[in-house]
Structure 1
Amino acid sequence: MKKRIIAAFILVVFLVTGLFLSSNYRGAEAASSKQVLTYINGAEPRYLDPGLNNALDAANIIINVFEGLTRVNVKGQTVPGIAYKWTVSKDGLTYTFYLRDAKWSDGKPVTAYDFEYAWKRALDPKTGSEYAYQLYYIKNGQKFNEGKAKASDVGVKALNEKTLQVTLEAPTPYFLDLTNFPTYFPVRKDIIEKYGDKWATDPKTYIGNGPFKMTKWVHNSYIELVKNPNYWDAKSITLEKIVFKLSEDVNANLFAYEARQVDGAEGIPTNEIDRLKKSGELKTAPLLGTYYYLINCKKKPFNDPRVRRALSLAIDRQYIVDNIGKLNQKPATGFVPYNIKGINKDFRIENGNFLPTKADLATAKKLLAEAGYPNGKGFPEIEIIYNTSEGHKKIAEAIQNMWQKLGIKVKISNMEWKVLLQRRQNKDYMVARDGWVADYNDPMTFLDLFTSYSGNNNTNWSDKKYDSLIDLAKKTVDPKKRMQYLMEAEKMLMDQSVVIPIYFYTRGYLLRDYVKNYYMSPLGFNYFMYAKIEK
C-alpha cells in the first residue's frame, strides 16, 4: 500500500516515532506466557481510517482491527472473510458476495450496507481519499470521484443485509485480492456521521469488525489491541493482546529488543546489520517494493527531463545497496521490482533495464550541459527532504556526495514522518524520499500510481498518453496486450525520469523464535492475528 503504505522505511519498512522503554510494560519473556505480543511497528499513524490511510505502518494496525469481504491466510492466499462465498458472472464483470453472520466490536451486525457505504465514502471527492483510485475498477467509480456521476451510479449495491453486488468497469483478475486491502474494508456510517474525522482517533469510537479491537492509544508511544470477542472467528485467535510500539529511534529499537522488552522490531541500525546477520537474530523476507526519490517535476529546473535523467544517472545504486542497505537489496533499474509476472516471465526482466547499477557521470554531465547547466553552473541548490532515520540519512548523504560531483550544491533536511507526508502531498519540495510497496502482485499497483487521477501521485507530473496506457491496460482482457500496455507505460515513466528509483526492497526484521504461525506478506503487511507464542 500503496502502501506508502510505504510508510517510513529505513531499510525496508516503517520506523518511526516515540520512546517505549517504560516500566509500564513487562519484558518479552513475561509476555510470552500471556499470549501478548509486543512489536515495534513504526510511525505514529497519520490515519487509522481505512478510507484515508495510505501508509504501511498504519495499515498493519488496520488489518488487525478490520476485515474485508476476503482475508489473507498464513500461506498468503485470499480466502473467505466476511463473505463466506461469492459468484462471478461469465463476463467477469459482476461479483455477488454473500455475507456470513458477523458483528462489529460493539456487537452490532456487519451488513452489506456497511461495505456499500465505505466504498462510496472513499470514492466521494468530499472525503479526499488519496486511495480513491484503487476503487476505480468499480463501475462509475472514477466518474463519481471526479464529479461526473452520482453515488447511486456507482457499481456497488447492497441487495439486502447479507448480499453485496459489485459491477466492474472491466474484468479484473486481481479484484478478489483487492477486497482484502484496507481501502475496501467496511466502516460504520452511524459512527462516522456522529464523530466525524475524529472517529478513528479514539479507542472508544474506533469500532472495527476484525480479530482485535483498540483499547489504548498513547500518542507517540504505543497502541494496544486486545482480542475482539465479537469477531466471527474469535475461537481461532490465540493472542490476547498486541502492543504496537511507535518509534523511529532505531538504536532504541534494537536496545529494547536485546533487553527483551519487545518481541520484535523493524527499525534496525545499519551499522548493526552485519552483527545481527552473523548472530542469526536478523530475519529477512521478500518484499515487493521500490525505494525511490520523488522529483517535483513542475519546479524549475526539474521541469526539464534531461535534468531529472542526469540526477538519476549520477547515482551509484550498487554502492548504496552494498554499503548502506546490506540486506541483499537489488539496485532499481526500473520502477517495477522483480518477482512480478510479466507476459511469460518476470516483468522486470522482460521490460529490461532503464538505468545502470553504477553511476554514469559522463552521460549525466552531458545531459546537464545540454539543459544549460555545464558543470552545474547556474544550477540552484537542491534540497533533499527525508523522514528522520539513520538509514534515510545515510542514503541522502551518499546521494548528496554523488550529485556534488556534477557541480551542484545539495543540502539535506530531515523531518518527522507526518511532516514529510504533508510536504509531499502539498508538492512543497524539490526532491523527497519515498517508497512504494505493492497493494497486490501485479505491475499495475506500481504504474497507476503516476496517473493524473492518482491521489498518491505527488510528482506534479501528468501525461494524457500515460493515463491512456494505464486505462487501456485496465480495460483489456487479453493478458498479453494488457502487459504490453503496462510495459510501454513504465518505459514512458522512465524515459521521462519522473522519479528516481534507487533500490528494490527486501525486508529485515527481528522477531523471537517463540512467535509462531504469523505471516509477513511480500506486500508489507504483518498478519499477527494468526500468531501464537510458544515457549
Structure 2
Amino acid sequence: MNPGLSLEPRPMVMRFSRRLPLFVSLAALLTCAACGRDDDGVTQVGVIGPDPKLVETVTSPLTAGDALVRSNLAQGLVRFDERGQIVPGLAERWNVSDDGLSYIFRLQNSKWPDDRKIKANEIARILSRQLRQVSTNPLKDTMGAVTEVVAMTDRVIEMRLAAPRPNLLQLLAQPEFGLVRAGVGTGPFIPATAEQVASARPEEIEGGMFITHRIRLADAKDPIERAHIIGGDAKALVAGFAAGTIDLVLGGTVGDLPIAMRAKVPRGALRFDPVAGLFGLAPTRRSEVLQDEDVRQLLSRAIDRTALVAGLNVDGLAPRATLLQPGLLGIGTPQQPAWLAVPMEDRRVGLVAEANRQFGDTDRPTLRLFLPEGDGGEYLLARLRFDWAPLGIKVERAPSAASADLVWVDEVAPSSSPAWFLRRFRCDVAPICVEEAEAVLAGARTAPSAVLRNGLLLEAARLMDKAQLFIPIAAPVRWNLVSGRVPGFAENPFARHTLVGLANTKINAGTP
C-alpha cells in the first residue's frame, strides 16, 4: 500500500479550534466568567465519569471522581497541595532518619466526625491493612519497602523501611492511602450539613456530593469553603462549563480531548497536567505473532510518533520510544533509539523490507486493539491503521481487553520513581515479560543506596525496552477546564487536585 498524503489521518482538531471565533468580543468573554450561576460561594466541580463517592476500601483503580472525593474527604498522613507538593495532612509534621529507613509522623490533635479522638494506633492499623499481603489496594506494590507501621504514642506513628524510598511521601499523599473509618474520612473537607445543603440552589444538590471546609482566617471569623462535586459524561460537563454553570471540569483524558478542543470556552481555560506515566500499547497473549520480539519491535518502529503527538495538539507533549521518561528520580533523561529521530518517509522503505523478511509469503496478521472510547480513541485507531498499513498489517477495534491483541495503557505514575514503570511489566502481572529482568528488579527493591538502585532500574529498563514489552508513545494526557472563579487551581504532575483554597486564595492549601 502506498500511503499517500490523502490517506493520513488528520489531527483531532485544527490548531485554531482551541480559540473562540474572532467575532466573539472581549466583552462577551468577560461576561461569560459569571454567566449561568450566582456568586453563592459554592464551587461547582464536574468530574468526567460516574457520580463520585467516598470509597472506604480501595480494591481497584479509583475513578477520577472517587479519587477527588477521597483526596479531599479522607486525606492521608500527608497530602498534595494545588501544585502537587507535599503538605501536612493528618500528620502535622514528620521526620526522616538519616539512613532513610524510618519515617516518624506526629498527628494533629483532631477528631473523627463522630467526635471520637483520632489516635495513632487506629491509623497504624488502617495503614497496615492497606499494605498487608492480602490487600488488593492497587498501589500496595509501590510500598514494598515498608516493613512495619507502628504507633509509638497516641499521636506518633513510625513507618519502618527495608530500603530507602525518597518518594514515599508522594505515595502516601495518593488517595489510595487516604484514611477512612466506618465510612467517614479525616478531612480536610467533610460532607455538608442538612442546613448547608438546604441553603444551596436546588440544581446544585441534585446528585453528586456537597462538601464543606471550615478554615479560620485572620480577617474572617469562620469562612466556609463549599464545593459540589458531580460526575457526568464529558460532553455534558463541557457544555455546562461553556454555559458558566460549572466552574471546573476535571478528569479529561485522550478519549474525550476532542470535546474540550472543540468547545467554545475562553482562551486559557483548557489546562493540561504535566503528568508522567504510561501511554501506549501492551501486547497480550492472544496473538501468537506478537509473542515474537522482532514483530513487536517492528510495530514500534513503524509508528510515526511525531505525527501522532502533533495531531493531539497538546503543548509540551513529546514523543518517546522508551518505557521510562525524562524527569524521573535519579535516572536523568533516557536515551531514545536513533531511529526515532529519522523521518518516517526515510525509514518506511526499510520497515517494509523488514516486514517482508519476517512474514515472507504468509498472510499478514490482523491485530485487534482495545483503545479508549470517544473521538480520541478513533484518532488513535486511524493513526495506527495508517502507520501499519504499509507493512500489510490490518487493524480492528476490540470490544474488550480480553478480546484484544494489544491493549492501550493510559496510566499516571503515582510518584517520581522509575520503579513503578518497570514493575508494571513483571512476570507475575504482565502477559509477556523478561525473566532476566526479574532478578534485576528484585535487587533494586532491596538496594541499600540510591546509586545502586538507580543503576539496577536502568538495567531492567534496558532489558524491557529491548524485548519491547510495551510500545510507548508519549506521556499520558490529562486535561481540565478552569474558569476564572477558581483562581487557586494549578496544574500538577500527579493530576490530583485539592479543593482547599480553590476559590479563596487567602486559604493556604498547606493548612490541615
Q: What is the match of residue 34 of structure 1?
A: 40
Residue 211 (structure 1) aligned with residue 188 (structure 2): yes
Q: 1:179 to 1:214 in 2, by over 3 A?
A: same
Instruction: Give the SS at the match of 2:113.
Output: coil
Q: Percent identity?
A: 20
1:168-317 equivalences in 2 (<5 Å): 168-188=161-181, 191=182, 206-214=183-191, 223-227=208-212, 238-249=224-235, 252-266=236-250, 267=252, 269-270=257-258, 273=261, 279-297=267-285, 299-317=287-305
Q: 1:229 to 1:46 in 2, by over 3 A?
A: closer
| Amino acid across the alignment from 2:325 | P
Consecutive unaligned residues in structure 1, runs of 5 or more:
1-9, 12-26, 140-154, 192-205, 415-419
Match of 1:514 among 462, 480, 485: 485
Instruction: Give the SS at the match of 1:490.
Output: helix
Instruction: Give the SS at the match of 1:532.
Output: coil
Residue 439 (structure 1) aligned with residue 414 (structure 2): yes
Q: What is the match of residue 91 of structure 1?
A: 99
1:458-477 equivalences in 2 (<5 Å): 459-477=430-448
Instruction: Give the SS at the match of 2:475.
Output: strand
| Amino acid across the alignment from 2:288 | K
Match of 1:73 among 78, 81, 84: 81
Q: What is the match of residue 3 of structure 1?
A: none
Instruction: Give the SS at the match of 1:54.
Output: coil
Q: Distance in 2 between matches of 1:342 and 1:93?
A: 18
Q: Distance in 2 between matches of 1:255 and 1:472?
A: 51
| Amino acid across the alignment from 2:232 | L
> 1:433 Cα shift?
1.5
Q: 1:102 to 1:30 in 2, by over 3 A?
A: farther
Q: Distance in 2 between matches of 1:280 and 1:92?
A: 42
Instruction: Give the TM-score taking structure 2 as reference length.
Output: 0.77
Task: Provide, for residues 30-82 of structure 1, a one-character-per-residue CA deviation record: whole Å limited to 9, x for no partner.
Answer: 65622222233222269934632434613222211211111223453322221
Q: Distance in 1 between matches of 2:178 and 2:448?
A: 27
Whether the 8 Å CA contact 1:327–1:506 is kept in 2: the answer is no
Instruction: Give the SS at the match of 2:296.
Output: helix
| Amino acid across the alignment from 1:382 | L
Residue 48 (structure 1) aligned with residue 32 (structure 2): no
> 1:278 Cα shift?
8.8
Q: Distance in 1 between matches of 2:315 and 2:504?
A: 27
Task: Provide, for residues 281-311 of structure 1, a one-character-per-residue CA deviation record: whole Å limited to 9, x for no partner.
Answer: 3334422234212211564121111121121
Q: Distance in 2 between matches of 1:113 and 1:503?
A: 43
Match of 2:394 among 409, 423, 442: 409
Q: What is the match of residue 6 of structure 1?
A: none
Whether the 8 Å CA contact 1:334–1:354 is kept in 2: the answer is no
Q: Distance in 2 between matches of 1:434 and 1:340?
A: 19
CA-atom RMSD, angstroms?
Answer: 3.5
Instruction: Give the SS at the match of 1:356.
Output: helix
Larger radius of gyration: 2
Whether the 8 Å CA contact 1:257–1:263 is kept in 2: the answer is yes
Task: Provide, for residues 82-137 of structure 1, a one-character-per-residue CA deviation record: whole Å limited to 9, x for no partner.
Answer: 11233333432122222122223343333323333333323344443332202212
Instruction: Give the SS at the match of 2:379.
Output: helix
Q: Distance in 1 between matches of 2:223 and 2:186?
A: 14
> 1:522 Cα shift?
0.9
Task: Provide, for residues 440-492 of structure 1, a one-character-per-residue CA deviation record: whole Å limited to 9, x for no partner.
Answer: 12322322222235xxx4x4123343232223333334333322222222222
| Amino acid across the alignment from 2:425 | F
1:446-525 equivalences in 2 (<5 Å): 446-453=421-428, 457=429, 459-505=430-476, 507-525=478-496
Match of 2:377 among 385, 392, 405: 392
Residue 356 (structure 1) aligned with residue 340 (structure 2): yes
Instruction: Give the SS at the match of 1:242.
Output: strand
| Amino acid across the alignment from 1:122 | Q
Consecutive unaligned residues in structure 2, runs of 5 or more:
1-11, 14-32, 198-202, 506-512
Q: Distance in 1 between matches of 2:376 and 2:472?
A: 16
Instruction: Give the SS at the match of 1:387.
Output: coil
| Alignment coverage as a number of residue pairs | 452
